[in-house]
Amino acid sequence: MRHPRLKPEYRDTWHHCYNRVVGTSADRPLDDADKEQFVRILHRVATLYAVRIVAYQVMSNHFHLLLQAPAEPPSEEETIERFEDFHAGKRKLLPGSPLCRTWQARLRDVSWCLRHLQHLYTAWYNRSRPIRRRGPLWAGRFKNTVLDTGTALWVCWTYIERNPVRAGMVTDPGDYRFCSYGAWVQTGRHPFAESFQTYLLPALPDPLRNQESTAIRCALRKAFAALAAAELKLDEAHTAATIASAASETAFSLSAERRVRHWVDGLAIGSELFVRETMRRVRSETEVHRHRLAKAANMPHDALPICCWRRLRVLHN
């Protein structure tokens, strides 16, 4: 029996949304290029809708999203701006028109947002196969869980970000590219930084609420370590040591003992002056000035800091 979706509209509401592709649980139809395209489309859809995406996870046969649906629809002016920007000016909305009012209501609706995301991705996926594919990609409607703020939101967030570890794909969630935590760790910037700062941080439990992003990332690493220790059934002393070790983070390491993506994905590595001067030859002055560089840890105290300009590689079928 199909039940109405739970969507409280009297307040800003947190949702954990997820869906799986068609087939059995053993089917893994999404490769790295497919996952990368999903992230691109997710970012594009986020520019249209007023729904506030703060975390995502794209696996080989399913995805997870953590988002907030606002209680109030965007203004008419914001609706028109979002709509016309999304369509690159090729489609217009007239102020006060029935279509404008319709889109104004849609832009705050989690169902319309996810429906649009899944439709765009399915259309791309079907036409990008070597033999053109037809039919649905997703196994029915997406599912959503409405979340309270505080502990429920925090635990759900850690659950979403740790998916690739549970699947045995990586040992550290930061090593997985196709999730918000991995993108955050590997680039130094949260992929939905504005929504993260404005909406997620104030909704976290004390004492995490409104902390600096570095403190939140440290808390995430400690939570991941605690979960790993519990799965390994470590004793109290070893659990404490594991959590303490996780509290320190290296943006990227100069050591060859651990594989780090900066050495294969970095566009330029060296002193900050060297990296920025090098990138000025291929990037605009504004981008070079604003781009946040990753900085190496484990440096000798008398050495110049080493920085890296990272950009995730674009994969193709």
Give residue limits of the domains in the chain: 13-72+108-188, 213-249, 262-310
Q: Give yes or no for a cis peptide into 202 (omega within 30° of 0).
A: no
Residue 312, pLDDT score: 44
Whether the Cβ atoms of residue 224 and residue 246 lie closer than 8 Å to each other: yes
pLDDT of 243-280, one tens digit each?
A: 888 876 554 545 433 344 555 456 677 778 867 877 78
Give the domain 13-72+108-188 fold: Alpha-Beta Plaits (3.30.70)
How is 193-243 classified by DSSP, letter by letter? HHHIIIIIGGGSPTTTTT--HHHHHHHHHHHHHHHHHHHHT--HHHHHHHH
Task: Give the burial class of 288: count Cβ atoms within 10 A of its Cβ; 0-12 exposed, 13-18 middle, 19 or more buried.
Answer: middle
- Tens place of pLDDT for every residue, the chain, 317 residues? 566 777 888 889 999 999 999 988 788 999 999 999 999 999 999 999 999 999 999 999 999 999 999 999 999 999 999 999 999 999 999 999 999 999 999 999 999 999 999 999 999 999 999 999 998 999 989 998 999 999 899 989 999 999 999 999 999 999 999 999 999 998 889 999 999 999 999 999 988 998 999 899 999 999 999 988 988 888 888 888 888 888 765 545 454 333 445 554 566 777 788 678 777 877 888 888 888 787 766 555 445 667 777 654 433 33
Residue 168, Ramachandran bin (φ over 0: left; ψ between -120 and 50: alpha; else beta) = left
